[in-house]
A and B are shown apart, each in its own frame.
Chain A
């Protein structure tokens, strides 16, 4: 049972180690999805939100991790 729990924890840990980073990535994807729905004739805006959003989230997250 303990081993099963460890396997499940490890599986979740594949994708989520720092909860705030995971939430921020999901928020950027949601924002890009919203943009794709609202301005569907300009898909590159969606791409820009996704790309630069993720780059910004990464930079901000590691900077905050240092302060913590």
Chain B
């Protein structure tokens, strides 16, 4: 009972935090489109992207039930390891000042400039191009959310908490965007990526091990121990690799 609650809680938290990161990134592009060409193409593109994501989830969900459980655990575990450790690696390097932090304001400015350039070159079909940019941003960032939700819930009945976490994050970011009407530059994106990378890596170890026939001591509680170990290693790596400029970047 305690293990199941820990699993559902971890899945919901990881999905919520990861979805905040992705929703902020998608929102930056949608806002850039809306700034250059108005809300109609931006909104239509975003809506079409959301519809495609819903179709993907509706199509993939039933198919997963047909896959043998151990194979599903192994495949999803490996994908979670690849995905989670990729995020964690980048978050460590950013925290240590080795690579620059993600900057939504710069991305917004770049995207806006690119769209304005497209206005100049292709005035006649600009709404179509603007809508496509919005659509692509929602689909690409949304696919990461879909993967996280499916991976965290596959074979463990956590679909509802993971989906609820992701939905809550997307609604929260959408509401904030409606109020502020500009890119969300104050979201601690790297801290969120750090936390999500740790959680996804911990889930990845758990699932991959289960797929290989390992019965982890403490069952689902082991995920918390794995997360603590990943956190310790990540913090040690940041402390050892930190460059003098890192504090200035933070």
CA distance A6 to B136 in the complex (A): 9
Best-buried of A6, A18, A40 by chain B (most CB within 10 Å): A18
CA distance A21 to B87 in the complex (A): 11
A63-B241 contact, Cβ under 8 Å, with A7-B139, A46-B212, A47-B214: yes
Are B85 and A50 in contact (CB-based, < 8 A)? no
CA distance A40 to B208 in the complex (A): 15
B5: Cβ under 8 A from any A Cβ? no
Min Cβ gap A30→B in Å is 10
Are A15 and B213 in contact (CB-based, < 8 A)? no
What 1/0 flags go to A2-40 for Cβ under 8 Å of B? Answer: 010011001100111110011001100100110010001
Interface of B is mostly: helix
Min Cβ gap A46→B in Å is 5
By a CB distance below 8 angstroms, the chain B residues around A55 are 229-230, 233
B222: nearest chain-A partner, CB-CB: A47
What 1/0 flags go to B98-126 for Cβ under 8 Å of A? Answer: 10000000000000000000000000000
Are B98 and A65 in contact (CB-based, < 8 A)? yes
A15-B83 contact, Cβ under 8 Å, with A3-B136, A7-B140, A62-B93: yes
